[in-house]
Amino acid sequence: IGMFTGRALDAGYFHWVVVPGMLLSALGIFLTSICSVYWQFFLAQGLMNGIGNGCQFAPSISLVTTYFARNRSAALAVMACGSAIGGLLYPTIMRQLLPQLGFQWTVRVMGFIMLAVGACYTSLLRPRLPPRKSGPLFELGAFREAPYTLYAIGLFLFCLGVYFAFYYISAYAINVIGVPYSTSVNLILIMNGMGLPGRLIPGYIANTYLGPYNTLIPWAFITSLLMFCWAAVKTKASLYAFTILYGFFSAGFQGLFPVVMANLTKDQSKLGTRNGMGLSVVGVASLTGPPIAGALIQTGGGDYVTAQMWAGTMMVVGTLTIVAGRICITGWKIKERL
């Protein structure tokens, strides 16, 4: 729903979208604590929490980018660290409190944390640009721009594969490597924790030396290569090494791609709409990619190689498409900062 909420930001309705979204996400968490059957979890955690997060994500990222021009990469890198911190915090809370408080109150504690953090950030953010009331809901003219279109296609293909490891690293560790459940949870924490340096370091490089587009491309290629390397992971030591490296480099991609997307929009009054459209593309890929990989694993009788090769191929093709988008802007001038 980023395409709708992004347009709401441009129209001046930031708080009218983000605050209800924050409350809806928290309500979804609280309702999850009393769920007992699958359809209830789907409505509370999947639908309600998902819509609430969608109402917050695109407008918040787009709003922050309007405050920065020169230091945009660094600013969004710091902002993106919030997801890495959450990826460390919430699994740790669940792991520590679940045996003592039980499922219901553990989930409620997480809901109260979401409410507190949400109240803080929604009270601090203020739209900077004057509202653009008129204009279409979708900026279809963006897809007549070759750089934007190629970048969106590249993001879609890359994101089909990149989140596969986040969803399946724990199952792979248990079923293929044979580690205990506690170790598989540690792998998730490590992968999320590497998101902190993984976002800050490439953000600094992009902001100081290369530019976000030039930094994004090698990070995406390395992440794609690591996806192929995952098929060779057969020991506990190599599993930890893969988790650390993949968590670091994939986080760099996640921190940089919104910056590049924002830089492809010259008219700042359309930033929310165009960012929202791009994030919707990413959302569809993130939603469909892991289930496709899961189906490939199931078809292969529990073997992960086909899914790993598929994910890596999608990521490489996506990266090459992103490179094509850069060529449309600068030609073959490799050293030009972008």
- Write out pLDDT tens, residues 202-240: 998 988 888 899 999 999 999 999 999 999 999 999 999
Identify the pLDDT of residue 333.
82
Looking up residue 223, the CATH number of its domain turns out to be 1.20.1250.20
Per the domain annotation, does 335 fall within a domain? no
Which residues make Cβ contacts (< 8 Å) with residue 285, sequence separation at least 6?
155, 156, 157, 158, 159, 160
Report residue 122 as tokens. 């929604």
With cut-offs at 50, 70 and 90, classify the pLDDT of residue 334.
confident
Q: Are 202 and 252 in contact (CB under 8 A)?
A: yes
Per the domain annotation, does 192 fall within a domain? yes
Domain count, the chain: 1
pTM (two decimals): 0.90
Per the domain annotation, does 25 fall within a domain? yes
pLDDT digits (tens, 9 = 90+) for 253-302: 988 988 898 888 887 778 788 888 888 888 899 889 999 999 999 988 88
For residue 75, the one-letter residue type is: A
Whether pLDDT at 309 is above 90: yes
Q: Please tell me the distance from the alpha carbon of residue 189 to that of residue 87, in angstroms, as a whole number.
A: 7
Whether pLDDT at 244 is above 90: yes
Identify the pLDDT of residue 150.
95
Identify the pLDDT of residue 93.
87
Per the domain annotation, does 132 fall within a domain? no
Whether pLDDT at 134 is above 80: no
Identify the pLDDT of residue 185.
84
pLDDT digits (tens, 9 = 90+) for 152-194: 999 999 999 999 999 899 999 999 898 888 888 888 889 988 9
pLDDT digits (tens, 9 = 90+) for 288-305: 999 999 999 998 888 899
> Among 81, 82, 25, 30, which Cα is nearest to 55's?
25
Region 143-154: mean pLDDT is 91
Three-state secondary-structure class, residue 132: coil
Per the domain annotation, does 131 fall within a domain? no
With cut-offs at 50, 70 and 90, classify the pLDDT of residue 242.
very high
With cut-offs at 50, 70 and 90, classify the pLDDT of residue 324.
very high
Report residue 80 as tokens. 């993106």
> Among 15, 47, 55, which Cα is nearest to 29's?
47
> Among 57, 68, 65, which Cα is nearest to 17's?
57
For the chain, what is the mean pLDDT? 88
Q: Please tell me the distance from the alpha carbon of residue 87 to that of residue 258, in angstroms, as a whole number.
A: 19
pLDDT digits (tens, 9 = 90+) for 56-95: 888 888 888 888 878 888 888 888 888 888 888 888 888 8
Per the domain annotation, does 231 fall within a domain? yes
Domain that holds residue 28: 2-125+137-330
Q: Are 117 and 110 in contact (CB under 8 A)?
A: no
Per the domain annotation, does 338 fall within a domain? no
Report residue 315 as tokens. 């990521």
Per the domain annotation, does 112 fall within a domain? yes
State the burial class of residue 223 (Cβ atoms within 10 Å of its Cβ: 0-12, 13-18, 19+). buried
Higher pLDDT, 116 or 11: 116
Identify the pLDDT of residue 239.
93
Q: Are 196 and 81 in contact (CB under 8 A)?
A: yes
